[in-house]
Amino acid sequence: MFRLLFKNLKAKQWIAVVVIFLLTLAQVFFMMQIVSYISLLTGAVQTSKQNGVAEIWWYGLYMVICAICMAVVEIIIRFVASATAASTVTMLRHKMYERVNEFAISDFASFSTESLITRTTNDMQNVHLAWLTFLKTAFVAPITMVWSIILLVQYASGSLTLVTAIWLILLVVAVVVLLLMVTPKYKIVQKLTDALNVASRENLTGVRVVRAFNAESYQEGKFEKVNATFTKVQIFNGRVLSFFTPFVMFVMMGLSLSILWASAYVINGMSVDQANATFAATNAFVMLSGQVVMSFILLVTLIVIWPRSSVSAKRVQEVIEHTVSILDTENPVEFKEQGTIEFKNVGFAYPGSDKEAVSDISFKVKQGETIAFIGATGSGKTTIINMIPRMADCTRGEVLVDGVNVKDVLQKDLRDRIGYAPQRGFLFKGNIKENIAFKDPNMTLEDVRWAAEIADADGFVMSKRNGYDSEVAQGGSNFSGGQKQRLCIARAIAPKPEILIFDDSFSALDYKTDKTVRGRIAEKLPNATRVIIAQRVGTIMDADQIVVLDHGKMVGIGKHYDLVRNCPVYQEIALSQLSKEELGL
């Protein structure tokens, strides 16, 4: 927890911590002044008949002034602590978000989506609570305790010291037992929070499948199992913690009663003057011992919060300090060509796997050409194209874009040259114009419509009441599959990139729309190199090169006319979709 926080504090936050420390010293000073004057006030009350009440009024006025000053300082401390805690957690959340944005595809294998969401929200909130509590109590509690103990020495006697020590030892033992019982459970709580998010997200994203199979009861059972376990652990923690507050009150009352009893035993048999002096000292001792206990309680409050927060801090730290697998080179080079792609004996293996997912991939594409990839599911098509924008790095060989190795250029510069349409059409919450102009928010409406017309999306967009200002729900759930794909294609085309990557982006389009969109792209962007993954032979028949994949290996490369005659794998795929007459066989 401390490592995460202190390592990420900025200068202004360090200044705030110092200010809180100094204010705490002032607060404790005023507090101890009040405690000290209680003894003097007690003595003045006992002698008021001889000296009048003027002395009592002055002591009381001074105590009131100290109390007001202490209240003002407390308000300032809480204000500064709240602002500091909020700014610190905001910075940590921003760092975490930035680091996740730097993740390569392989990095996401270490953290599930649900876990990352939990770490950004629930875990970060636990860190905020612990840091805020620390700023409010970590200084005042030990300072008050030390100062109280120093003053206690003035009034200490053997019996009073022994009584105080016994009750404090009892309190310490209770706290240790409490922490030993609760800390392991908090680790389980955070993992169960992840599990709850998984169950909830799975049910919400797959709601159509759930309803289609009447599987609501099954899904409820899965959720209820996790929810019941989570509830059981939380109830256990609640029961253990609920014991603590009453026990602390018992210790405080027992300590005060024991001190008064011990003092009464000592006072019995003394003269009046000795008894008065002892009674005043006893009052001061009760107040100071109470301050020691209260300081201990403040520390315990922090200690109780700390186990869960330390678990959360570790989970946040794991993300922030995660070593990203794909980093920019320190000495980037300039691109030598334009719109070219070349793979030289490329192989790729996923982390932790001894077997390559794709191997011995070699081809070259010139500017303005179209290369297509086809093969069975799991043959490595998406894995190959992910290496072009460097979403994954090859483990063997070289991937060259515009004449240079993708590892030798900045990722931003590389991706500025690439337009990408994913296999699963995904839209962001906002409006249609914002989604198409995702690469450049300052893009004009004319440029947005130009891209939409190429993608055959302008028609259905303009049929909406608000046109390009029409709302897009999260994930594009208010659009059909074909509409989402066309908008994603428009988004890829809009910045007019050198290289266009279509990861099975035409699958939801009918044959006519598919052919129309590809024809418009070739006409309007003749110099753009096109990389297409497709399952339909009709989509890739006119490609300059077709790469046929089978179990991660190239089993054929060439034009459609040659492959359909010379490549058995391609021939089998083609005949499963088209007749021999249509294929010219």
Kindly report the CATH number assigned to the domain that includes residue 439: 3.40.50.300
Of 496, 529, 549, the last residue of a domain is 496
Q: Which residue has the tokens 């390569």?
A: 104
| Nearest alpha carbon to residue 273 among 114, 50, 435 | 50
Q: Are residues 436 and 301 part of one domain?
A: no
CB-CB contact of 452 with 461 (8 Å): yes
User: What's the confidence (pLDDT) of residue 446?
Assistant: 92
Q: pLDDT by residue (tens digit) across 185-204?
A: 777 877 787 788 777 777 77
Burial 354-374 (b: 16+ CB within 10 A, else e): eebbbbebebebebbbbbbbb
Percent of the chain residues past pLDDT 90, beyond the cut: 26
Q: Which of 7-11, 48-52, 489-493, 554-558 has the lowest mean pLDDT?
A: 48-52
Range in 114-128, 148-162, 451-465 with the lowest mean pLDDT: 148-162
- Say what the alpha-carbon torsion angle 333, 337, 343, 348 is, to the nearest 10 degrees: 40
Confidence tier at 130 by pLDDT (50, 70, 90): confident
Instruction: Tell me what pLDDT residue 240 has.
Output: 79
Q: Is residue 361 part of a domain?
A: no
Report pLDDT for 276: 53
Please check whether residue 490 lies inside any domain of the structure: yes
φ/ψ of 54, rounded to 5, equals -60, -40
Average pLDDT, the chain: 83
- Whether 556 and 548 have beta carbons less than 8 Å apart is answered as yes
| Phi and psi at residue 520, to the nearest 5° | -65, -40
Quickly state the pLDDT bin for 284 (edges 50, 70, 90).
low
Query: How many residues in the chain?
Result: 585
Q: How confident is the model at residue 155 (pLDDT cuts 50, 70, 90)?
A: low
pLDDT, position 279: 57
Per residue in 467-480, pLDDT (tens digit) is 999 999 888 888 88
Q: Please indicate, yes or no, whether residues 143 and 271 belong to a single structural domain of this protein.
A: yes
Report whether 80 contacts 16 (CB < 8 A).
Answer: yes
The whole-number average pLDDT for the span 391-418 is: 92
| Range with lowest mean pLDDT among 77-81, 303-307, 449-453 | 303-307
- What gap in Å lies between CA 346 and CA 384, rounded to an integer? 9
Ranking 248-262, 388-402, 532-546 by mean pLDDT, the lowest is 248-262
Residues 27 and 166 in one domain: yes
Provide the pLDDT for residue 121.
85
> Is residue 214, in this structure, part of any structural domain at all?
yes
- Token reading at 61: 């006025």
How far apart are the C-alpha atoms of 145 and 152, rounded to whole Å? 10
Say what angle helices 481-493 and 511-524 make with each other, to 10 degrees: 10
pLDDT band for position 270 (50/70/90)?
low
128-137, 173-182, 315-324, 413-422, range with the lowest pLDDT: 173-182
Is residue 375 a contact partner of residue 548, using CB atoms and an 8 Å limit?
yes
**Domain for residue 8, yes or no?**
yes
What percentage of the chain has pLDDT greater than the value 70? 88
Regarding whether 436 and 314 lie in a shared domain, the answer is: no
> Cα dihedral angle (40, 42, 48, 49), rounded to 10 degrees?
-140
Structural domain boundaries enclosing 13: 2-320
Give the pLDDT confidence of 337-392 residue by residue, as tens digits. 899 999 999 999 887 777 888 999 999 999 999 999 998 888 889 899 999 999 88
pTM of the model: 0.72
Residue 502 confidence (pLDDT): 93
Per-residue model confidence (pLDDT) at position 369: 93
Q: How far is CA 224 from the centre of its chain?
A: 25
Q: What is the mean pLDDT of residues 489-494?
A: 93
CATH number (domain holding residue 206): 1.20.1560.10
CA distances from 158 to 164, 170, 171 (A): 10, 19, 20
Task: Examine the pLDDT at 146 and tell me if it is beyond 60.
Answer: yes
What's the number of domains the chain is made of?
2
Mean pLDDT in residue range 326-346: 91
Q: Are residues 304 and 449 in the same domain?
A: no
Asked which of 134-143, 151-160, 174-183, 482-491 is least confident by mean pLDDT, the reply is 151-160
Mean pLDDT throughout 318-337? 88
**Are 189 and 57 members of one domain?**
yes
Domain end call among 289, 320, 351: 320
Digit-coded pLDDT (tens) for 11-42 = 888 888 888 888 888 888 887 777 666 666 65
From 215-219, 415-419, 521-525, the region with the lowest mean pLDDT: 215-219
> Which of 100-104, 172-176, 370-374, 532-536 has the lowest average pLDDT?
172-176
Is it the case that residue 314 has pLDDT exceeding 60? yes
What is the tens place of the pLDDT at every residue in 567-581? Answer: 999 998 888 887 777
- Same domain flag for 429 and 295: no
Instruction: Tell me the mean pLDDT in the region 494-520.
Output: 90
User: 422-455, pLDDT tens digit by residue?
Assistant: 888 888 888 999 999 999 888 999 999 999 999 9
At residue 293, the pLDDT reads: 72
Q: Does any domain span residue 514? A: no
* Shared domain check, 429 and 311: no
Tell me the sheet residues that pair with 348: 358
Q: Quick one: pLDDT band at residue 265, thresholds 50, 70, 90?
A: low
**Domain end marker among 432, 462, 496:** 496
* Statement to judge: residues 305 and 451 lie in one domain: no
Q: Which two tokens stand for residue 521?
A: 């792209």
Residue 99 included in any domain: yes
| Paired sense of beta strands 404-405 and 396-401, if any | antiparallel
- 111 and 247 inside one domain: yes
- Determine the Cα–Cα distance for residues 420 and 9; give it in Å rounded to an integer: 38
Nearest residue to 311 (alpha-carbon basis) of 184, 217, 204: 184
User: Quick one: tokens of 421?
Assistant: 């349409």
Question: DSSP letters along 376-404, please?
Answer: STTSSHHHHHHTTTTSS--SEEEEEETTE
Sequence-separated (6 or more) residues with CB below 8 Å from residue 113: 201
